[in-house]
Chain A
Amino acid sequence: MSEHIKLPEGSIEKTTTTLNLGPTHPATHGVMQNILELDGERIVSADQTIGYIHRAFEKLAERRPLAQITTLTDRLNYCSSPLNNMGWHMTCEKLLGVTTPKRVDYLRVIVMELARIADHLICNSIMGVDAGAYTGFLYVMQYRELIYEIYEEICGARLTTNMGRIGGFERNFNDIAFQKLEKFLDEYPKALKEFENMFQRNRIFMDRTIGVGGISAERALNYGFTGPNLRAAGVDYDVRVHSPYSSYQDFDFTIPVGSTGDSYDRWLVREQEMWQSLSIIRQAYQKVQAFTGAEAEVYHADVPEYYLPAKQDVYTKMEALIYHFKIIMGETDIPAGEVYHSVEGGNGELGFYLISDGGRAPYRLHFRRPCFIYYQAYEELIKGAMLSDAIITMSSLNLIAGEMDA
C-alpha cells in the first residue's frame, strides 16, 4: 500500500502540522490565505498569500480621465467607499488648485464620518462574531442600513457609491437625506450604547481579546501601521488632525488612543471613534444648517472647467455645452505635477500619489492602501498564539481584501 502514497520528503519526521487557512474561509472575512505551521494548537509560522482579487486599478487609472477614477476608488475599501471617493476628489482638487466652499467641506465631513461609522461598525461587530457573539452583529446591521439609506439619498448607490465630483457633489442633499440623517443621529447612539454594553465589559469577550495580537508602538510604526490600529498601540497620529483637510480644523473632537495595541484596545479605539464621529456629524450638521440665503444652496465649487454643468444649461447655453463636451471627452487641460494627498480612511492613512504629465489621464497613480501595509505584521502578531487567537486578531485588524489587493 505505502508505495502508492507519495509523501513529501521529511514529512514523517515533521513534528508540526500544516494548516491551510483560507483563501475562502468564513473566518477570514475576505479572500486571504494563510498557510499556518502549527505545533499542537500554537502557531509556529504563517505564510501569507494575497492578491486573489487584484484588479490592476493602478494600471487602469493610467487610461482614465480623473473623474472616471472615482469608481475605482469605490472598490478599494468597500466598507467605506465615500471616504475613498472624497479622498480622491481632494487629491484632484489639490492638483488642479480648486478650493471648495465651506458648505461642501461640511457636507463631505458628514458623509466621511458616516462612512467611518459604517466601517468601524462592521469591524467591531465581526470581532464579536469571531468571539462567538452573533447577536451584536445582526443587531447593528440595521443601523448600517440607515447609513446606506442616507448614501442612497445623496448619490443613488449604496455600496460602490461613486459619490461627489471634483469640486463638490453632483447634487445638493435633499430633505429626505437630512431627515434620515436626523433619524440616524437620534436612534444610533442608543444602539451603540447597547452594543457597547454587550461587549466592552463582557468577560468572555475580554478574555478572548485582551493580550491577543498585541504590538508595541515602536514596532507598529516600523510596520507602517496607521489609523485605529496604530492609535491602539498608543500613538496619537490621525491625518484629520495632523494635516487637516475638508475643514476638519473647524471641528472639536478627541483622538482616542489605547496603550497595549492588542485586539481589545483596537476594539475600544474604534468604539470611541464612533462616538467622536457622531459628535463631528452633529457639529457639521449644525454648521450646514447655519448657512442662509444663497450660501445654503451651495454644493459645489465654481469651477466650470472641471465640474459638469447642469443638463438644461448644456442644451441652451453655448459655454455650458463646450465645458460639457470637454469634460466628457477628457479634453480639459490638467496641470503637470506630482501630488500626494492622504485622508484618514476607515482603517488608516489612505494616500493617493498622483503624477500628472499634463495628459488626459494620470501618468502614474499609486494608492497607499493602509491594510496592505500593516497586514504584513500579521505573522509577528500571531506567532506563538493559539489558532483561535489568530482568527480574532485578523478580524481586529480591519482587513479589507479589496483594498489590500487593489
Chain B
Amino acid sequence: MSLTNEIIQQRLTEKFADQVGEFVISYDMLQFSAPKEINLKVLNFLYDDPQLAFTFLTDLTGVHYPDQKGRELAVVYHLHNLKDNIRLRFKVFTSVEQPDVYTATGLFSSANWMERETYDFFGIHFVGHPNLKRILNVDEMDYFPMRKEFPLEDQTRIDKDDEMFGRG
C-alpha cells in the first residue's frame, strides 16, 4: 500500500499525540508543525520509520512572521520519500528573542549549508551545528537581512509611493 497524506498524519498523531498539529494539505502537500524542542524527534521518526522513510531533505529554509508573538521565526523542512514519491512540509516555530533550534546535520549532511544559509539570513541559531557561520553574506555583517524589519529600499525616500511599488 502506498503512502498517502492521511496515513502520514495518522502515524504522526499516533506517535506524538497532540504535540504535532496544524495539519493542512496545501496544493496536495501535507504540512504540519511541532514544537521546536522535538524537531529532531519528529525528523528522526520520519526518517527511521520503515513505512514513512522520509530520507531525503529537499529543502530547509526560514520564514519571518513579525506579527506572531512568541513564534516569529519558522524553520521549514521539505522532506521527500523517494520510494513512494511523496513530499511533506514540516514547520518549527521559534521566538525571535531566543531563536535556538536543534540542527538536523546529524541526520542529513545536506542540512549543513542550508542551515548556515538560514542562520545567515534569519539569525536562527542551530544548536549543535558543526560550523554555524555566515555563508553568502560577508562575515562582518551584524544583522539578518531577510527579516521583515529590513525594508528593501531606503525608507527616507519620498519620491516613491510604496502603495504603487510593491510591498511597503
Contacts and interface: CB of A to CB of B under 8 A. Distances in A.
A235 B56 CA distance: 12
Contact of B78 (A237, A337, A353): A353
B68 to A, nearest CB: 12
16 contacts: A51-B137, A58-B121, A60-B152, A221-B55, A224-B56, A235-B82, A242-B85, A340-B59, A353-B78, A366-B59, A368-B59, A372-B113, A372-B117, A375-B113, A376-B109, A376-B110
Interface in B128-164: 134-137, 145-146, 152-153, 164
Interface in A316-355: 329-330, 337-340, 342, 349, 351, 353, 355
B52 to A, nearest CB: 16
Interface stretch (B3-11, B24-32, B93-101): B24-32
Interface residues of B, number: 38
B69 interface: no
Nearest to A221: B56
Given A242-B85, A338-B31, A368-B58, A329 B164 contact: yes
A339 B167 contact: no
A361 B153 CA distance: 15
Given A353-B61, A360-B167, A94 B27 contact: yes
A65 B166 contact: yes
Contacts of A94: 27
A64 B152 CA distance: 11
Interface of B: 26-27, 29, 31, 55-59, 61, 63-64, 76, 78, 82, 85, 87, 89, 108-110, 112-114, 117, 121, 134-137, 145-146, 152-153, 164-167
Contacts of A63: 152-153, 165-167
Nearest to A329: B164
Interface of A: 50-51, 54, 56, 58-60, 62-65, 94-95, 219, 221-224, 235, 237, 242-243, 329-330, 337-340, 342, 349, 351, 353, 355, 359-361, 363-364, 366, 368, 372-377, 405-406
Contacts of A361: 166-167
Nearest to B55: A221
Nearest to B108: A222
Contacts of B27: 94-95, 337-340
B85 A364 contact: no
Contacts of B165: 63
B87 A340 contact: yes
Most chain B beta-carbon neighbours within 10 Å: one of A219, A340, A353, A376: A340
